[in-house]
A and B are shown apart, each in its own frame.
Chain A
């Protein structure tokens, strides 16, 4: 029970700190910079969630934008289309702005996550039979299928997209709170998976499926779980995007988005959570900050990617993580090396 109290305190503490930082940032940061920060948070969630499937469990899925789209559209559809109907029929739910909005957003998160998770199961099932490049093609194809289906649903705007989504994330200066709360959640989950004995089974599937199976690991269950959890987080990232930017359209979730998310995971070092996060920041922020170079920026950006992959084919961090111990070791060694004659 003491543990429960402690855990509750930690979580509440984190949330409070996030809320304070959120208020401070939105008050002090330049609007454009703040927007880039939020984009980074969404990208970090996408990268870390794909890392669960791709890096930790070793299922080479590259159609992550599909789950992102499923979450964004179903979450937004709830807020724009279904929520008003529900509220009209249930007077009890006609709450004031802060409470009512928060409730609406929370429900959007749940339905967005659920929709993406269902899509995750559908894509996860072929992963039971397919490996490597075959799986990659199927997942990429499925991501496109989701986009094309959305393109043909008039109720959510078809090719025009869905606009006029209330700024449930953006209002009340809590955008940073919501988006980075989500980042914290997916990072905590990944960390616990890699640290605990139960979670090691996911890494075992990546390392050697036949051996894992022989040691009693239910590889089917692990793979489907990875797809469900990874896609659910991508779905929530979609909900955040929709309720911050207030409009979504199918072309946001195209194949190029899928490829950028995959690049983040590969660039960061497949399996490395901190690597994925850092790569997400770099790949999101860099094109923005290179804007002054106009047409050349994409050339420079692509060149940098090529250089990184040539010099570090295992990604920036390989399977490893950034840690203070490692940094200390690195600088310690430098210092010791410098002291020698």
Chain B
């Protein structure tokens, strides 16, 4: 059974169908790519998966559960974590604190016990801090844990977003253009890192990336969106040879 299933998902904004009748699936352990020109509806699709928007039609089934009507925090608890295309860190908090916020999903002590500072909560806090540091280390951020997140260089902020998402212990990790604005070398590094954490954290990944070359390098299966519609699905070789994809990307960049 698929970890994630989209059944005819549509989302309209006024007259515009940003996402239109999409049926797709992601299986456990996969690293699936989602590509498409700007404005194709990729980010909107992530917003539908994480409960930021509700589908106008269709259903999203995650881990056997229909997520319709669930709030984003509830869906995060079910095991979908994401990063944001426009970085959304907790700017005034340190890198470690950013990750700690996400690690709360695995907290045992109650907020009340935190407020009165009980022994049980201290032990729990120590455990959570270790988990948070583990996520920082996984993304190579162990040395900047005490820096304010808004002071970090751009590339590290993108990594911190991934680190924070991992801290929720997701089953499915949604990465929205994690390599945007990086040079080709940085991109390669990041993709390598994503592949590593995928195995160490045992997580399924759905990756949006504008740069086709990058996606082709690490994804075995790719979906292509254009004007809200799914125009192709297949292996990198199939996608590269697909005339619809070539047409969609024509004039954009070489494949």
User: Which single residue of chain A is at the shortest CB-CB distance from B79?
Assistant: A216
CB contacts under 8 Å to B, within A240-298, are 271
Residue of A188, A196, A201, A208 near B125 (CB, 8 A) is: A196
CB contacts under 8 Å to A, within B176-210, are none
Bound-complex Cα distance A217 to B113 (A): 17
Is A225 interfacial (CB-CB < 8 Å)? yes
Residue interface bits A204-228, CB-to-B below 8 A is 1, else 0: 1001101111111111100001000
- B119 contact set on A, CB distance < 8 A: 3-4
One of B85-93, B137-145, B215-223, B247-255 contacting the partner: B85-93
Contact present for B114 and A213 (CB under 8 Å): no
Known A201-B101, A213-B72, A216-B73; judge A207-B90 contact (CB<8 A). Answer: yes
Residue interface bits B106-121, CB-to-A below 8 A is 1, else 0: 0101110111110101
Residue numbers of B with Cβ under 8 A of A are 50, 52, 71-73, 76-77, 81-82, 84, 88-93, 97, 100-105, 107, 109-111, 113-117, 119, 121, 124-125, 128-129, 132, 164-165, 167-168
User: Which single residue of chain A is at the shortest CB-CB distance from B148?
Assistant: A319
Bound-complex Cα distance A4 to B113 (A): 13
**Residue of A4, A193, A207 with most partner-chain B CB within 10 A:** A207
User: Which single residue of chain B is at the shortest CB-CB distance from A189?
Assistant: B115
Contact present for B91 and A196 (CB under 8 Å): no
Bound-complex Cα distance A204 to B90 (A): 6
CB contacts under 8 Å to B, within A164-195, are 188-189, 192-193
Contact present for A210 and B52 (CB under 8 Å): yes
User: Which single residue of chain B is at the shortest CB-CB distance from A188?
Assistant: B117
Q: How far is the CB of A228 from chain B (nearest CB, A)?
A: 12
Contact present for A213 and B91 (CB under 8 Å): no
What's the interface size class on A, roughly? 20 to 34
Bound-complex Cα distance A192 to B132 (A): 19
CB contacts under 8 Å to B, within A66-106, are none
Q: How far is the CB of A175 from chain B (nearest CB, A)?
A: 26
Is A129 interfacial (CB-CB < 8 Å)? no
Contact present for A211 and B111 (CB under 8 Å): no
Contact present for B114 and A197 (CB under 8 Å): yes
Contact present for A196 and B81 (CB under 8 Å): no
User: Which single residue of chain A is at the shortest CB-CB distance from B110?
Assistant: A198
Is A150 interfacial (CB-CB < 8 Å)? no
Contact present for B114 and A199 (CB under 8 Å): yes
Known A198-B121, A207-B91; judge A214-B81 contact (CB<8 A). Answer: yes
Q: How far is the CB of B47 from chain A (nearest CB, A)?
A: 10
Contact present for B114 and A211 (CB under 8 Å): no
